[in-house]
Amino acid sequence: MKRNIITAALLATTAFGASMATANEPVWDANKVKLISEKLDNGVYAYYPSDAKELESKGLPVATSGGFIVGDKGVMIIDTMLNERLNKQVQDMVKDKAGKPIVYAVNTSFHGDHSYGNMYLPEETKIIQHQVTQNYIDTHFEHDTQFMMQNFGKGRGIEEITPTDADILIGTGGKITVDLGGKLVDIMDFGFAQTGGDLFVWEADSKTMWTGNPIITVKPSLPWLLDGHQLETLDSLKKVRAFLPDDATVVPGHGSPMSPDDIQWHIDYLETVKTQVQSAIDEGLTLKETVAKVQMKEFTGYALRDWVHPALNVPAAYKDLSSK
């Protein structure tokens, strides 16, 4: 993973958070976030920050979301959160709504706000993640926690995090089905979507999918091409949308439940980036000139747009298309 790209991105995010709140504060504070649960179907729940709907309607950043599925054998949770405080909120929800043991936990990516809570899971819980995620944890964990403290703040419970190995790994392009007892859950890789190790979780009876960070939240949020790969990300999101029935429920990585149609905004944005960047390349424009030209005012309203679009997404497309 190109850590310098991500560091630049989240440094910008932190700067944005400071402008919104007080100096040196992150966009969202893991010591203050309160998670709430929403029942989507029998035994199927999303959880997300209590202020998610208000913030996303204004195009503002939202803390991490996830969910849990309850079967006869026990519970699967999707994403274990950034610190002990948030993980405890998740486990308390499971205890209140299900009253059954957490038998599985899925990490949709290696990002700390989706996976650091692994260390607080019950001993019997089996952790499922992508092989790319495990490789990253094995080789970059200490650096990653320093990076997360730099951008999410010290004193947020990150200092005490230690790596936790997964029990079940999914390879590139892989898929497994987990039987929770009366609930079959598919966990799959649609291709590079943000990290190269992104997992999507699908519960067919309720038609519910958890996407993790490849889908941040509803319009006007935009994809974050933190590690580049604009063309692959566009292809993967198209595959996700084609997979979903129109009446499915989508739980994004940082927001409240949305519809499959909401994914089209992200696809349309990436398609427009691709078309306009290709046009700039055909004109012989440099990257700097392309960033200046590809403004795309029709995709505005997202508070982080002024760094996501020019600093991450347009350069990612320029690199991909220039190398074709």
Domain boundaries, the chain: 3-261
Tell which CATH classification among 3.30.910.10, 3.40.50.300, 3.60.15.10, 1.10.150.650 matches the domain 3-261. Answer: 3.60.15.10
Q: What is the DSSP letter of 38?
A: E
What is the residue-wise DSSP string for 243-301? HS-TT-EEEETTSS-B-GGGHHHHHHHHHHHHHHHHHHHHTT--HHHHHHH---TTS--
Cα-to-chain-centroid distance, residue 136: 16
Q: How far is CA 234 from CA 127, 161, 170, 262, 316, in A?
A: 28, 33, 22, 15, 12
| Positive or negative: CA dihedral 28, 304, 223, 320 | negative
Let me know: does 217 contact 258? Beta carbons within 8 Å.
yes
In sequence order, the 6+-apart residues with CB closer than 8 A to the CB of 320 are: 228, 229, 230, 231
Cα–Cα distance measured from residue 137 to residue 72, given in angstroms and rounded to the nearest whole number: 32
Digit-coded pLDDT (tens) for 198-238 = 999 999 999 999 999 999 999 999 999 999 999 999 999 99
Exposed/middle/buried for 270, CB within 10 Å: 0-12, 13-18, 19+?
buried
Q: Quickly count helices (H) and strands (E) in the chain.
A: 10, 12
Let me know: does 122 contact 95? Beta carbons within 8 Å.
no
Nearest to 82 by CA among 116, 41, 120, 34: 116
Cα–Cα distance measured from residue 209 to residue 186, given in angstroms and rounded to the nearest whole number: 9
What is the residue-wise DSSP string for 159-228? TT------SEEE-TT-EEEEE-SS-EEEEE--S-SSSS---EEEETTTTEEEEETTS-SSTT-----TT-
Task: Name the residue with tokens 């012989």.
Answer: 284
pLDDT, residue 258, reads 98
Q: How far is CA 297 from CA 8, 28, 293, 309, 317, in A?
A: 23, 26, 11, 11, 17
Cα-to-chain-centroid distance, residue 114: 7
Let me know: does 215 contact 227? Beta carbons within 8 Å.
no
Q: How confident is the prediction along the chain (324 residues), in pLDDT tens digits per residue?
A: 333 333 333 434 433 443 333 345 688 999 999 999 999 999 999 999 999 999 999 999 999 999 999 999 999 999 999 999 999 999 999 999 999 999 999 999 999 999 999 999 999 999 999 999 999 999 999 988 998 898 889 999 999 999 999 999 999 999 999 999 999 999 999 999 999 999 999 999 999 999 999 999 999 999 999 999 999 999 999 999 999 999 999 999 999 999 999 999 999 999 999 999 999 999 999 999 999 999 999 999 999 999 999 999 999 999 999 997
Cα–Cα distance measured from residue 323 to residue 202, given in angstroms and rounded to the nearest whole number: 34
Phi, psi torsion values for 233, nearest 5 degrees: -60, -45
Task: Name the residue with tokens 């692994």.
Answer: 118
Let me know: does 241 contact 282? Beta carbons within 8 Å.
no
Cα–Cα distance measured from residue 26 to residue 287, given in angstroms and rounded to the nearest whole number: 30
Task: Name the residue with tokens 């993640």.
Answer: 129
Q: What is the DSSP letter of 24?
A: T
